[in-house]
Amino acid sequence: MSDSRGSIHGEWSSRWAFILAATGSAVGLGNIWKFPYITGENGGGAFVLVYLICIAVIGIPIMMAEIMIGRRGRRSPINTMRVLAKQGRHSPHWKYLGWTGVVAGFLIISYYSVIAGWAMAYVFRSAGAAFEGATADGVASIFSELVSDPERLIAWHSIFMVLTMIVVSRGVASGLEKAVRYLMPSLFVLLLLLLGYSMSTGAFMQGVSFMFNPNFSALSGEAILIAMGHAFFTLSLGMGAIMVYGSYLNKDTSIAKTSITIALADTSVALVAGLAIFPIVFANDLEAAAGPGLIFQTLPLAFGHMPGGTLFGTLFFILLVFAAWSSAISLIEPAVTWLVETLHMDRVRASVYSGLAAWLLGIGTVFSFNLWSDVTFFGKTFFDLLDYLTANIMLPLGGLAIALFAGWIMVRGTVKEELKLQHPRMFQLWYLLVRYVTPVAVIIVFISLQG
């Protein structure tokens, strides 16, 4: 197709606007909530080292491929895959790769919004000094009281979803771009403030040592696979978000440089989040391997017993909300663009319908923690089922298919033209990774996760 063709949805005003948006998509609860606790559970420094290698070998090549496919197609993921497959005279079934991404993003935002609602609730609890002087049982009781109240969870879920759809309904330039121009710098400033606070705890070097002093004896085979999986998921790959953002990218922007910048920014946020969190945990003699409860139970306990803890605890949960918000707008965007293109809806109506459908599905996640806590599907609660289906099946398959489509289905000359890599050896290296190394790595992750 002609490079001169633009997206009907608009374009990013600059390379940096795209970088902020894609980084916003990548930086989310996974960086600030999940990365610190899986690092704590898997031994620290050695895990971080493996994670960084996986970002380079798995994450960046697939991100380049997904952006390249998006920019070439200039449509929603579903229509991009349909058109590119047709132009290359390949099976029309490749359109299901687009469907996988759109549906995965839709399912994820339905429960992501509920978890983000917890963070919003904790902003006000922290600001109200609810954690000040609280015992471990007291903090656990606050969390239990929140998740056991469906009406309260629905209220926070609703507020977060409305905020997300207001941004999405305004389009690329006035909505997505304007939001990330404020959200991402604010997120970075808040994170640096928390890092400065962490340096004053007296346990900062202990946190640095934990994160960057490799202890390979603590690194199990399972930990390596967890690092590989998280490196893949943290960059928002395989869920249509990066592909649709790539469709708004102008033809002169370097995909390679942009992908590397986004990966570095995303990884930096995860590392700085760890450096901000672990010294606070260690300064209060708490457990780094606290698992998913690290953010909503362990950290509030720490903030409640530290000088200035109320202020910085509030800032931390605001940071968590900002990170979730910037990711959420990218998760629903592929569904909205498909409705606009295929059903010829205006963007506001498409946003309302998409948001309402995701909100309704999110009610199932809300009930998973209270009214439906005993209701299981294949041995899992509704929330656990959605989480497993997306994280363990849809995203790995989507990422694998993206690598295979870019490396084996698209014409090599077309790929080379779109990527515009200045050095032939750089293209050869990327082509080797995306055709052989990355697919094998993703298959290993996928098979291991099923086990």
> Which class is domain 15-450?
mainly alpha
Amino acid at 379: G
| Assigned token pair, 154 | 């629905």
Helix (H, G, I), strand (E, B) or coil at 21: helix
Alpha helices in 304-423 (DSSP H): 309-342, 347-368, 382-388, 395-404, 412-419
Contact 50, 219 (CB under 8 A): yes
Contact (CB, 8 A) for 160 and 240: no
What are the structure tokens assigned to 183, written together? 């959200």
Take residue 118 and report the two structure tokens written for it. 């917890």
Predicted pLDDT of residue 449 = 63
Q: What is the tens place of the pLDDT at every residue in 124-179?
A: 999 999 999 888 889 989 999 999 999 999 999 999 999 999 999 998 888 889 89
Percentage of the chain beyond pLDDT 70 is 97
Q: What size, in residues, is the chain?
A: 451
Q: Are 228 and 53 in contact (CB under 8 A)?
A: no
Q: What is the DSSP string of 250-289?
A: -TTS-HHHHHHHHHHHHHHHHHHHHHHHHHHHHHTT--TT
Confidence of residue 350 (pLDDT cuts 50, 70, 90): very high
pLDDT digits 0-9 by tens, 370-425: 999 999 998 999 999 998 888 878 888 888 999 999 999 998 999 999 998 888 89
- The pLDDT value recorded for residue 22 is 92
Question: DSSP secondary-structure letter at 234?
Answer: H
Number of helices (H), then strands (E), belonging to the chain: the values are 24, 0
Q: Closest Cα partner for 190 from 306, 322, 307?
A: 322
Q: Which residue shows structure tokens 């086990």?
A: 451
Cβ–Cβ under 8 Å, residues 102 and 240: yes
Q: CB 239: neighbour CB atoms within 10 A?
A: 30
pLDDT in tens, 86-120: 888 899 899 999 999 999 999 999 999 999 999 99
- Return d(Cα 262, Cα 260) in angstroms, integer: 5
Reported confidence tier of residue 292, pLDDT bands at 50, 70, 90: low
Structure tokens at 367: 């009930």
Largest CA distance in the chain: 66
pTM of the model: 0.91
> Does 78 score more than 80 pLDDT?
yes
Separation between Cα atoms, residue 169 and residue 162, nearest integer Å: 10
Four-residue CA torsion sign, 386, 65, 230, 284: negative
pLDDT band per the 50, 70, 90 thresholds, residue 8: confident
Output the pLDDT for position 291: 63
Burial code (b: 16+ CB inside 10 Å, e: under 16) for 388-413 equals ebbbbebbbbbbbbbbbbbbebbeee
Q: Please answer whether residues 127 and 300 qualify as being in contact, where contact means their C-beta atoms are separated by less than 8 angstroms.
A: no
DSSP H or E segment with residue 11: none
Name the 3-class secondary structure at 269: helix
For residue 128, the tally of other CB atoms under 10 A from its CB is 11
Nearest to 31 by CA among 265, 198, 261, 252: 265
- Which are the contacts of 443, defined by CB distance < 8 A and separation ≥ 6? 400
